[in-house]
């Protein structure tokens, strides 16, 4: 009879899982002992980094990523990163080591009391097998559950004395399991939706991260072109679902009720695909929709559909829905929307760059299929204006705004997509939440170019402080951090680039390297 250990590794192998993102403790050693040679362990020095790397890996590969955390303390450290994974529908299979079964009750050191409760509500499913024999089945359930639409993180707590136990013979059935999801929408629904779209006078398309996650970007382009619709990206964008230099592209909607209504004024139909309705942030109350507008929502997430405060929802695969819809639509007679004008030039200072010029330099030198991991919060709009993104999977931003995503996610994305250059653009505030990701990048020679935009402040909070009349709030600046010294300490090569010429030289150097490079750029506040 095979051991829980042997059958579990075989299960992971059959499910295409070959990387284990982790940070170990004594509870995890019996699982890691004898790790087969075809698996790779990616060590992160903090569980926020471990989970962030796995998140980037899962988002960029579209496949479940496996995480091994240390008991309660490790799970706790991962919770901030889980907020992002939950809202980006990231298929993370989180496992955590538990004390030996007979030592949990007395609350020994490292016993995770009520383990399944700990990661809730940021997981789809959370479980501790009731006996060792159930552990391989629980892992199988975890993988299939994480990967079933809507995808999301799951959690399994595993007592460390389970691994050497024998499984029953029937555990082999787990190895052959597959879960197929039928996605075709009903013909009547497609026809109804087509009619609504075709008969609208002035429809507008709002696209969300699920379009990119399902690689439905080209279908969205075809839909926009067929009906000559302007296209907005849904607020608080965590991915880029539409080429942002396409004539139909209008920008990212503001994350505020009143702001969205203002931008959508004049449209009689708002079609939202693959996004919640909506991810607001700034409190600016108003009407949810312009007068006379109706909203149609297409999403695979029934909860997302149910909690929307307006509109009519179709729940199912966004890819299948767009694919089914297109043959029902006649080209519109409307004129094609006109491309946005190119933004004007801005000036740098003597030894500080305007963020716009940092992005212009990156855009000029980066390969056309570069992937951007962005976590510099006050410059999101400027980035979308200045950097062209053409391909699916070109942009990742923390989906819940939980900082500490940028550096580790960039490492995970680059591990998943070695053929595309990953460029991380991270603020001098954000970089500190998961700075030890630099160590993993160096150790595993993950050739990310990290650009730190150093404006000495929590820039986005400065903006909020103005909006909320709280400009005297303490704790909004982060002066005197030397990222070149920090990166060097973690083994990453660095350049400080205080003007465009130096930045371009540094980027050229980074693009040619097969190891990570960190570029610190002093920037102006926006």
Among 256, 269, 319, 170, CA closest to 468? 256
255 in contact with ligand TZD (CB under 6 A): no
Task: Give just the sign of the alpha carbon dihedral 423, 251, 227, 321.
Answer: positive
Q: Is 491 a catalytic residue?
A: no
3-state SS of 459-526 is HHHHHHHHHCCCCCCCCCECCCCCHHHHHHHCCCEEEECCCHHHHHHHHHHHHHCCCCEEEEEEECCC
Among 467, 460, 84, 87, CA closest to 283? 467
CB of 456 to Ca ion, least distance (A): 7
Among 134, 210, 214, 428, binds ligand TZD (CB under 6 A): 428
Q: Which does 27 bind (CB under 5 to 8 A by kind): Ca ion, ligand TZD, none?
A: none
Orientation angle between helical segments 355-365 and 500-512, nearest 10 degrees: 40
378 in contact with ligand TZD (CB under 6 A): yes
Among 433, 439, 450, 490, binds ligand TZD (CB under 6 A): 433
**Catalytic residue (choose from 3, 25, 76, 311):** 25
Closest-approach residue to Ca ion (CB): 427
Distance CA 17, CA 63 (A): 9
440 in contact with Ca ion (CB under 5 A): no
Cβ-contact 238, 397 below 8 angstroms: yes
Q: Which does 379 bind (CB under 5 to 8 A by kind): ligand TZD, Ca ion, none?
A: ligand TZD
Distances (CA, A) of 425 to 57, 73, 124, 448, 519: 17, 30, 30, 11, 10
**Catalytic residue (choose from 44, 152, 401, 427):** 401
> What part of residues 73-102 is at the interface with ligand TZD (CB under 6 A)?
80
**Catalytic residue (choose from 26, 108, 199, 351):** 26
What residues does 375 pair with on adjacent strands?
426
Among 60, 193, 461, 497, binds ligand TZD (CB under 6 A): 461
Distances (CA, A) of 420 to 385, 446, 447, 525: 22, 12, 10, 31
Among 268, 282, 269, CA closest to 235? 282
56 in contact with ligand TZD (CB under 6 A): no
> Which segment (234-242, 267-275, 309-317, 396-404) binds ligand TZD by CB under 6 A?
396-404
Distance CA 55, CA 15 (A): 17
Among 22, 316, 459, 516, binds ligand TZD (CB under 6 A): 459
Among 349, 354, 499, 507, CA closest to 424? 507
Among 9, 288, 384, 458, binds ligand TZD (CB under 6 A): 458
CB of 404 to ligand TZD, least distance (A): 6
DSSP state of 154: E
Helices (H) and strands (E) in the chain, counts: 20, 18
Q: Is 412 a catalytic residue?
A: no
427 in contact with ligand TZD (CB under 6 A): yes
What residues does 207 pair with on adjacent strands?
233, 273
CB of 251 to ligand TZD, least distance (A): 18
CB of 346 to Ca ion, least distance (A): 18
CB of 525 to Ca ion, least distance (A): 8
**Catalytic residue (choose from 5, 46, 70, 160):** 70
Q: Is 281 a catalytic residue?
A: yes
Distances (CA, A) of 364 to 60, 240, 504: 24, 19, 9
Q: Is 16 a catalytic residue?
A: no
376 in contact with ligand TZD (CB under 6 A): yes
Q: Which does 461 bind (CB under 5 to 8 A by kind): ligand TZD, Ca ion, none?
A: ligand TZD
428 in contact with Ca ion (CB under 5 A): yes
Tell me the longest C-alpha to C-alpha distance in the chain: 74
> Which segment (122-130, 132-140, 255-263, 397-405) binds ligand TZD by CB under 6 A?
397-405
Q: Which does 155 bind (CB under 5 to 8 A by kind): Ca ion, ligand TZD, none?
A: none
The residue (of 75 and 379) whose beta carbon lies closer to ligand TZD is: 379
**Catalytic residue (choose from 5, 8, 22, 28):** 28
Cβ-contact 247, 182 below 8 angstroms: no
459 in contact with Ca ion (CB under 5 A): yes
Strands (DSSP E) contained in 389-504 are: 395-396, 422-427, 449-454, 493-496
455 in contact with Ca ion (CB under 5 A): yes
Q: Which does 433 bind (CB under 5 to 8 A by kind): ligand TZD, Ca ion, none?
A: ligand TZD
| Assigned token pair, 68 | 């091994």
What residues does 353 pair with on adjacent strands?
523
Distance CA 35, CA 177 (A): 23
Distance CA 197, CA 194 (A): 5
Q: Which does 157 bind (CB under 5 to 8 A by kind): Ca ion, ligand TZD, none?
A: none
379 in contact with ligand TZD (CB under 6 A): yes
Q: Which does 401 bind (CB under 5 to 8 A by kind): Ca ion, ligand TZD, none?
A: ligand TZD
Distance CA 307, CA 287 (A): 17
52 in contact with ligand TZD (CB under 6 A): no
Q: Is 467 a catalytic residue?
A: no
Cβ-contact 47, 77 below 8 angstroms: yes
Among 198, 363, 457, 499, binds ligand TZD (CB under 6 A): 457
Closest-approach residue to ligand TZD (CB): 427
Q: End-to-end alpha-carbon separation of the chain, Å?
A: 64
429 in contact with Ca ion (CB under 5 A): yes
Q: Which does 167 bind (CB under 5 to 8 A by kind): ligand TZD, Ca ion, none?
A: none
Q: Which residues bind Ca ion (CB under 5 A)?
A: 427-429, 455, 459
**Which residues are identified as catalytic?**
25-26, 28, 47, 70, 281, 401
Q: Which residues bind ligand TZD (CB under 6 A)?
A: 80, 376-379, 401-404, 427-430, 433, 455, 457-461
């Amino acid at each position: 009879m095979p051991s829980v250990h042997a059958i579990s590794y075989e299960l992971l192998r059959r499910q295409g899982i070959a990387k284990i993102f982790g940070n170990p403790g004594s509870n995890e050693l019996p699982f890691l002992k004898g790790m087969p040679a075809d698996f790779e362990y990616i060590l992160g020095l903090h569980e926020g980094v471990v989970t962030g790397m796995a998140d980037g890996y899962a988002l960029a590969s579209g496949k479940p990523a496996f995480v091994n955390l240390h008991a309660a303390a490790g799970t706790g450290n991962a919770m901030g990163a889980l907020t992002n994974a939950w809202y980006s529908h990231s298929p993370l299979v989180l496992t955590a080591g538990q004390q030996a079964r007979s030592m949990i009750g007395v609350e020994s050191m490292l016993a995770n009391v009520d383990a399944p409760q700990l990661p809730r509500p940021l997981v789809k499913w959370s479980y501790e097998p009731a006996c060792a024999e159930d552990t391989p089945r629980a892992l199988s359930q975890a993988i299939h559950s994480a990967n079933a639409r809507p995808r999301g993180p799951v959690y399994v707590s595993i007592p460390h004395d389970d691994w050497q136990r024998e499984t029953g013979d029937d555990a082999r059935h787990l190895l052959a399991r597959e879960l197929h999801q039928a996605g075709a929408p009903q013909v009547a629904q497609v026809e109804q939706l087509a009619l609504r779209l075709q008969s609208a006078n002035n429809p507008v398309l709002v696209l969300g991260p699920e379009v990119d996650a399902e690689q439905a970007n080209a279908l969205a382009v075809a839909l926009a072109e067929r009906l000559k619709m302007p296209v907005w990206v849904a607020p608080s964008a965590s991915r880029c679902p539409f080429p942002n230099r396409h004539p139909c592209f209008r920008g990212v909607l503001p994350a505020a009720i009143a702001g969205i209504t203002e931008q959508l004024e004049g449209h009689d139909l708002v079609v939202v695909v693959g996004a919640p309705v909506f991810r607001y942030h700034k409190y600016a109350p108003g009407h949810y929709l312009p007068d006379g507008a109706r909203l149609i929502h297409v999403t695979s997430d029934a909860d997302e559909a149910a909690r929307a405060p307006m509109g009519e929802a179709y729940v199912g695969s966004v890819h299948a829905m767009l694919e089914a819809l297109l043959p029902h639509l006649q080209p519109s007679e409307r004129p094609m929307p006109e491309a946005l004008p190119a933004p004007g030039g801005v000036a740098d200072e003597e030894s500080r760059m305007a963020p716009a010029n940092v992005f212009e330099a990156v855009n000029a030198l980066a390969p056309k299929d570069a992937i951007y991991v962005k976590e510099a919060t006050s410059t999101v709009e400027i980035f979308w204006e200045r950097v062209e993104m053409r391909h699916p999977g070109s942009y990742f931003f923390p989906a819940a705004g939980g900082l500490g995503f940028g550096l580790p996610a960039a490492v995970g994305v680059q591990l998943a997509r070695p053929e595309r250059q990953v460029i991380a653009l991270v603020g001098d505030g954000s970089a500190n939440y998961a700075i030890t990701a630099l160590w993993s990048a160096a150790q595993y020679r993950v050739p990310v170019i990290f650009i730190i935009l150093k404006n000495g402040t929590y820039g986005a909070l400065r903006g909020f402080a103005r909006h909320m009349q709280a400009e005297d709030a303490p704790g909004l600046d982060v002066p005197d951090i030397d990222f070149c010294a920090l990166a060097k300490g973690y083994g990453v090569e660095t350049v400080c680039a205080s003007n465009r010429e130096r930045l371009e030289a540094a980027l050229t150097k980074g693009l040619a390297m097969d190891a990570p490079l960190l570029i610190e750029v002093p920037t102006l506040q926006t």
